[in-house]
Amino acid sequence: MIKNFLISTIIILLTSISCSPKIIRNWKEGERSDFGITSPSKAAFFVENENIQAEEELVKKHTGTADHIYGLFGTAADLMLVGRTNAKTFKFTKGKKTWFVDVNQMTKRTAMILFDGSEKPMIEYDIEKYLPLVKLYLSNDLKNTKKQTKTILKQENATRSVVDSIWSIAYKPDQKYAQSLLKNLKRNFSPPVFGLSAINCDGTIETQVFIDLAEKQLSYSSSVTYKNGQIMSSEYERNGEISGQKYHFNTLGLVDSIVFHLNHKKDYETQFKYLPQRIVTRFYNSRSRDEYLLNDKFEISKKISFDERNNPTSQQHFFYDDLGRVIREESFSSGKKLSTNFYEYENKEQNRFSKMKVVSTDETYISENTNTIVDGKETFISTTNGKVQSKTVSQINKNCEGKALIYDGNGAITGVTIQRKK
What confidence tens digit (pLDDT) does each residue in 124-150 have? 999 999 988 888 888 776 666 555 555
Give the max Cα distance, the chain. 103
Give the C-alpha separation, 44 to 139, whole Å: 13
Same domain, 63 and 187: no
- DSSP annotation of 27 reads P
Cβ atoms of 100 and 31 closer than 8 Å: yes
Q: What's the domain count of the chain?
A: 2
Cβ contacts of residue 147 below 8 Å, gap of 6+?
none
* pLDDT at 9 (0 to 100): 35
Same domain, 134 and 189: no
Same domain, 205 and 351: yes
ω into 40 cis (within 30 of 0):
yes
Provide the β-strand partners of residue 368.
357, 383
Asked if residue 253 belongs to a domain, the reply is no
Same domain, 128 and 197: no
Domain finish residue from 122, 143, 164 = 143
Same domain, 209 and 334: yes
Asked if residue 345 belongs to a domain, the reply is yes
Residue 401 belongs to what domain range?
176-224+288-421
Q: What is the DSSP string of 44-113?
A: EEEEE-TTS---HHHHHHHHHHHHHHHHHHTT--SSEEEEE----EEEEEETTEEEEEEGGG-SSSEEEE
pTM of the full predicted structure?
A: 0.61
Same domain, 305 and 203: yes
Asked if residue 340 belongs to a domain, the reply is yes
* pLDDT at 22 (0 to 100): 72
Pick out the chain residues at pLDDT < 50.
1-21, 75-77
Asked if residue 385 belongs to a domain, the reply is yes
Percentage helix, strand, coil for the chain under 3-state DSSP, each rounded to 5: 25, 45, 35
Give the C-alpha separation, 1 to 373, whole Å: 96
Same domain, 200 and 340: yes
Asked if residue 269 belongs to a domain, the reply is no
The CA-to-CA distance between both ends of the chain, in Å, stands at: 91
Domain finish residue from 123, 143, 163 = 143
Same domain, 129 and 181: no
* pLDDT at 36 (0 to 100): 85
* pLDDT at 79 (0 to 100): 66
- CA-to-CA separations, 324 to 229, 321, 352, in angstroms, rounded: 19, 5, 12
pLDDT per position as a tens digit, 34-84: 888 888 888 889 999 988 988 889 999 999 998 888 877 764 445 678 888
Cβ contacts of residue 169 below 8 Å, gap of 6+?
273, 275
* pLDDT at 270 (0 to 100): 92
Q: Residue 29: which CATH number?
A: 3.40.30
Spatial CA neighbour of 90 closest among 71, 76, 104:
104
Long-range contacts of 144-147 (CB under 8 A, 24+ apart): 144/77, 144/78, 145/72, 145/73, 145/74, 145/76, 145/77, 145/80
Tell me the Cα Rg of the chain: 29
Cβ-based neighbour number of residue 207 at 10 Å: 17
Asked if residue 411 belongs to a domain, the reply is yes
Beta strand 336-344 pairing with 218-227: unpaired
Provide the β-strand partners of residue 271.
257, 282
Same domain, 126 and 183: no
Asked if residue 87 belongs to a domain, the reply is yes
Same domain, 30 and 101: yes
Same domain, 198 and 309: yes
* pLDDT at 5 (0 to 100): 36
Cβ atoms of 182 and 252 closer than 8 Å: no
Q: What are phi and psi of 341, to 5 degrees?
A: -100, 130
- Per residue, the 3-state secondary structure of 240-272, as one string, reads CEEEEEEEEECCCCCEEEEEEEECCEEEEEEEE
Give the C-alpha separation, 334 to 338, whole Å: 10
Asked if residue 148 belongs to a domain, the reply is no
Same domain, 188 and 110: no
Domain finish residue from 118, 143, 168 = 143
Residue type, 139: S
